[in-house]
């Protein structure tokens, strides 16, 4: 991987992490378009790029994070929403590995599109506070994002909207929920990768730094922009985009 390629991949991660379009799918397609061989040797690079957008999210939502940490009820809700990830990550590993085949990427992108289309059609907003069943449902939807092509933010925000939440409330809960979920995944995958030193050393330090810095910089702008989008409820274009990207992925990567 060249320095320019690492910067492009960092930009792709920064642009797509907070949009409901699946950043993992776009990283795969970007590698394919640039002729960069994908595989385990680039997994740590992907984690570094995700770390850049994670830092951007933490800085942007720092006040919301502090408020949630001071609220025992909110902590309980987030813990409940995170619970479904545990069995999904550890017990369904063979299914996750099988479903991560590039041949399925387009189908999962189109599933994200379908969720967004349904959510965009929802007009009613229920002013009834946060319910336990709502939180658990959103947490279950988050497990779907373990499959490349299904957007984590897209699936969880769509679930919140279908449950009657307004777009901003659903987005705020989704992104706060993403912080411990992504951080936990980062720690687990990093521990596994450092047992295989070759997988980490296959990419230069300069490429790691370039990927992290570009994903962080673009991510800071991206997270601000997406909240403005959700304030206006303009989500249908992302659904059409995911549908188009899914069709492209089927053409480009299938088989």
Closest CA to 140 of 76, 73, 88: 88
Under a CB-based contact definition with an 8 Å cutoff, are residues 223 and 80 in contact? no
Under a CB-based contact definition with an 8 Å cutoff, are residues 179 and 78 in contact? no
Residues 76-130 have pLDDT tens digits of 999 999 998 888 777 777 777 777 777 888 899 999 999 999 999 987 777 667 7
The pLDDT, as a whole number, for residue 148 is 82
Q: What is the mean pLDDT of residues 240-251?
A: 92
pTM: 0.89
Residues 146-192 have pLDDT tens digits of 888 899 999 999 999 999 999 999 999 999 999 998 888 778 777 76
Band of the pLDDT at 194, cuts 50, 70, 90?
Answer: low
Mean pLDDT, the chain, whole residue set: 87
Question: Has residue 209 got a pLDDT over 90?
Answer: yes
The pLDDT, as a whole number, for residue 195 is 66
In the chain, what are the domain boundaries? 3-34+41-253
Give 105: exposed, middle or buried? Use CB within 10 Å, 0-12, 13-18, 19+.
buried
Residues 45-88 have pLDDT tens digits of 888 899 999 999 999 999 999 999 999 999 999 999 999 888 87
Residues 22-33 have pLDDT tens digits of 998 899 889 888
The pLDDT, as a whole number, for residue 175 is 95
Question: Has residue 35 got a pLDDT over 90?
Answer: no
The pLDDT, as a whole number, for residue 79 is 92
HSE at residue 198, side-chain half, CA atoms within 13 A, is 2
């Amino acid at each position: 991987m060249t320095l320019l390629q690492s910067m492009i991949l960092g930009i792709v991660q920064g642009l797509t992490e907070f949009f409901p379009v699946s950043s993992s799918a776009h990283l795969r397609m970007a590698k394919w378009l640039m002729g960069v061989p994908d595989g385990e040797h680039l997994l740590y690079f992907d984690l570094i790029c995700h770390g850049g957008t994670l830092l951007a999210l933490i800085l942007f939502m720092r006040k919301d994070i502090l408020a949630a940490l001071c609220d025992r009820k909110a902590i309980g809700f987030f813990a409940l929403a995170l619970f479904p990830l545990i069995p999904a990550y550890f017990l369904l590993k063979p299914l996750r590995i099988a479903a991560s085949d590039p041949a399925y990427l387009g189908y999962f992108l189109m599933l994200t599109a379908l969720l967004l289309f349904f959510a965009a059609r929802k007009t009613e907003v229920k002013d009834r506070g946060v319910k336990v069943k709502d939180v658990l449902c959103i947490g279950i939807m988050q497990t779907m994002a373990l499959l490349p092509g299904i957007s984590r933010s897209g699936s969880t925000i769509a679930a919140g909207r279908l449950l009657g939440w307004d777009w901003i409330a659903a987005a705020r809960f989704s992104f706060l929920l993403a912080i411990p979920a992504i951080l936990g995944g980062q720690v687990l995958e990093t521990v596994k990768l450092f047992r295989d030193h070759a997988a980490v050393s296959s990419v230069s330090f300069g490429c790691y730094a370039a990927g992290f810095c570009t994903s962080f910089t673009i991510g800071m702008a991206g997270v601000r922009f997406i909240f403005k989008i959700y304030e206006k409820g303009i989500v249908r274009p992302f659904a059409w985009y995911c549908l188009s990207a899914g069709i492209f992925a089927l053409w480009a990567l299938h088989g």
